[in-house]
Amino acid sequence: MYSYIDVLTVGAGVGGLRVVDMAVQLFFFLLLLFLVKKFAWGPVMNMMQKREEYVANEIEAAEKSRLDAEKASKEAHERLKQTKQEAQKIIEDAKEAGQKQEQEIIRIARDEANRLKESAQADIQNEKEKALQALQDKVASLSVLIATKVIEKEIDEKDQEKLIHEYIKEVGEEL
Amino acid sequence: MNHTAPIAEDLFGISWFDVNLANLFMVAVSSAIVFILSVIASRKLQMKPTGLQNFMEWIVEFVKGIISDTMDWKTGKVFLPLGLTLITYILVSNLLGVATVGVIGHDLWWKSPTADATLTLTLSGMVVLLTHFYGIKIRGMKHYLKGYVSPSPIMLPFKIIEEFTNTLTLGLRLFGNIYAGEVLLGLLVTLATTGVPFGFIFAAVPMLAWQGFSLFIGGIQAFVFTMLTMVYLSHKVSSDH
């Protein structure tokens, strides 16, 4: 059949140092190393590096904007709180002012009422005096009338006294 | 099955100056394929990766993972292009011989360049030389030499032997795996084509299985070679060793 020695010659040629083969292998490998580094792996690695930097930048930017948002939110919160306080203060002020005004109004009303009462009393006094004056006038005229009547009748002293009393009583009743 | 390598013997009349032309051809083909595929895949790079760019970036991440497994990423950064080229070149080389084998006359022209011990040992020798170079460059001559006698001077012969065994095992592991794969594929093809009754049918199923397995082996060996390269580099480069 077939000699195994022949089989062993397939491709290998185990024996023998072939310097040219080695030199060519070395040359081709180093050339390939140089070429693929320059034209294939170099650009690929550059692109990966670039992407890495891009991602890092993006993460940094995201972090920064997150911090900004946090800050802004805090600020808004602070401002809201402040506004609430201000509103509270305004309401309290308004309440106080309302109460003050209420008291003022009551005071004014009371004063007015007092003033009206006083003027009414003064009026009453006035009227009373007027009425007394009128009464006095009436008494005087009545006295004159009585005197004339007494004179007309020519009555005695007793009768006269009786008459005067009668008239005075009459006047009293009339009053 | 009497395939021989197309060897041009005694080039320029020098007795030891033999050249395996198939090797030269396949090294050139593998390099060209890797270069063309890489360049095509890395055209139209975008911020939002699509299609082939994703694949390229996956490879970059993969090799980055290998490097940062074995050493500090800060010092390992410079080895990323080396790792990428190694893994792609070796993978493509391994797969070339799995998918197709081309024979002209009795000469085997189309095969995996990594199924040749000379070429794999060249690669591993280059890697080991690089470890020495970067060991001196990054940590200084003093540290580099000190590495041979630590923890104790007794280690010196072992450390020197280790450098050679590293070169041999790294190269021969790759060679052995791929070469064995090709030998078995060759035997199966022979079974299918040399007139054994129903030979084709007997050969087809194992052929399919073995090709699948060879694909797997090819990927694993490319990974292992890159991984070990980084391990050897880290031994020389890292300060904690």
- pLDDT band at residue A160, thresholds of 50, 70 and 90? confident
Alpha helices of chain B — where are they, by DSSP H? 21-41, 52-70, 73-76, 80-99, 117-146, 156-193, 199-237
Nearest to A21 among B23, B35, B38 (CB): B23
Q: From the CA of B149, how many Å to the nearest CA of chain A?
A: 31
The fraction of chain A above a pLDDT of 90, given in percent, is 50
Determine whether the interchain pair B183/A10 forms a contact, defined as Cβ–Cβ distance below 8 Å.
yes
Question: Is the pLDDT confidence value at A25 over 70?
Answer: yes
Find, among B87, B90, B115, the residue nearest to B101 by Cα: B115
The pLDDT, as a whole number, for residue A2 is 41
d(CA B235, CA B79): 14
More confident site: B218 or A21: B218
Find, among B22, B147, B16, B203, the residue nearest to B97 by Cα: B22
Closest-CA residue of chain B to A55: B47
Neighbours of A65 (CB within 10 A): 10
d(CA B208, CA B148): 48
The pLDDT, as a whole number, for residue B241 is 46
Interface test mutation site (partner B, options A17, A18, A19, A53, max chain B beta carbons within 10 A): A18
Q: If interface means Cβ-Cβ distance under 8 Å, which residues of chain A face chain B?
A: 2, 6-14, 16-22, 24-26, 28-29, 31-33, 35-37, 39-45, 47-48, 50-51, 54
CA-based R_g, chain B, Å:
21
Determine whether the interchain pair B179/A12 forms a contact, defined as Cβ–Cβ distance below 8 Å.
yes
- pLDDT band at residue A115, thresholds of 50, 70 and 90? very high
pTM summary value: 0.70
Q: From the CA of B189, how many Å to the nearest CA of chain A?
A: 12
Neighbours of A56 (CB within 10 A): 10
Determine whether the interchain pair B39/A12 forms a contact, defined as Cβ–Cβ distance below 8 Å.
no
Question: Is the pLDDT confidence value at A10 over 50?
Answer: no
d(CA B55, CA B65): 15
Closest-CA residue of chain B to A17: B118
pLDDT in single tens digits along all 241 residues of chain B: 456 666 666 566 555 566 777 788 888 989 999 999 998 888 888 877 788 888 888 999 999 999 998 888 888 888 999 999 999 999 999 988 877 666 666 667 778 888 888 889 999 999 999 999 999 998 888 888 888 887 788 888 888 999 999 999 999 999 999 888 888 888 888 777 776 677 677 778 888 888 888 899 999 999 999 999 999 999 888 765 4
Q: Does B231 touch chain A (CB under 8 A)?
A: no
A39: chain B residues, CB-CB within 8 Å = 35, 38-39, 42
Nearest to A20 among B19, B22, B111 (CB): B19
Return the structure tokens found at B234: 């880290």
Determine whether the interchain pair B123/A47 forms a contact, defined as Cβ–Cβ distance below 8 Å.
no
d(CA B192, CA B174): 27
Contact (CB, 8 A) for B83 and B232: no
- pLDDT band at residue A8, thresholds of 50, 70 and 90? very low
The pLDDT, as a whole number, for residue A14 is 46
Determine whether the interchain pair A21/B20 forms a contact, defined as Cβ–Cβ distance below 8 Å.
yes
